[in-house]
Amino acid sequence: MTEHVFEIAPSGRSKCRSCGGAIAKDSIRFGEVMPNPFGDGNMTQWHHPGCAAFRRPEPLLEALAADGYEGPDVREITRQAESIQPHRRLQRIGKAERASSGRAKCRACQELIEKEAWRLPLIFFEDGNYASSGFIHATCTTQYCETQEVTDTVRHFAAELAADDLDELIKAIMA
């Protein structure tokens, strides 16, 4: 079994594999350690611990159980990871956006996603890689994820949206 790690980021150069944002120097980062699919030995993928709770709950929970993570948010991220962990599809949804064209089909209902409509990208994790794999309508989110408990994830990855856009998005999802 590979040992995942928590450590203090020695620089500000690593990027979070969950949200794409920079991991600040001196903040705690979570490293998922896995066999390197391209060669020998292991590789480590870094995440903000709070983001890994949504994208990689399973290895994060393993690491939380094994290692003394002392971030102030330890209870919150443990609770979050436990609630996300059984929902495989929920771990795939990313940062919501308005459709830039009307050409993509929804991976849930197979209908075209209208230009300007809210959509969520799907990101698959496979063999150590994060691959984009199309979109779903915001309105198809709960059906696709097979749970109503989607708003924490949507809010987490939508941190850059304006408050009224976020309201509109959540309304579309819960409609």
Residues that bind Zn ion (CB under 5 A): 16, 18-19, 48, 51, 106, 108-109, 137, 140
In the complex with Zn ion, which residue's Cβ is closer, 81 or 108?
108
Which of 61/157 has CB closer to Zn ion?
157
Closer residue to Zn ion in complex, CB, 87/105: 105
Find the helix or strand (DSSP H, E) in which 30 lies: strand 28-35
Q: How far is the CB of 107 from Zn ion (least distance, A)?
A: 8
In the complex, the smallest distance separating the C-beta of residue 14 from Zn ion, rounded to whole angstroms, is 10
H/E run at residue 69: none
**What minimum distance in Å lies between the beta carbon of 88 and Zn ion?**
19
Q: At its nearest, how many Å lie between Zn ion and the CB of residue 47?
A: 6
- Of 18 and 91, nearer to Zn ion (C-beta) is 18
Cα–Cα–Cα angle for 170, 146, 173, rounded to 5 degrees = 15
The closest of 121, 159, 162 to 140, measured between CA atoms, is: 121
Query: What is the per-residue DSSP string for 99-154?
Result: -SSS-PBBTTT-SBPPTTSEEEEEEEEETTEEEEEEEEEGGGHHHHHTSSTTHHHH
Q: Is 6 helix (H, G, I), strand (E, B) or coil?
A: strand
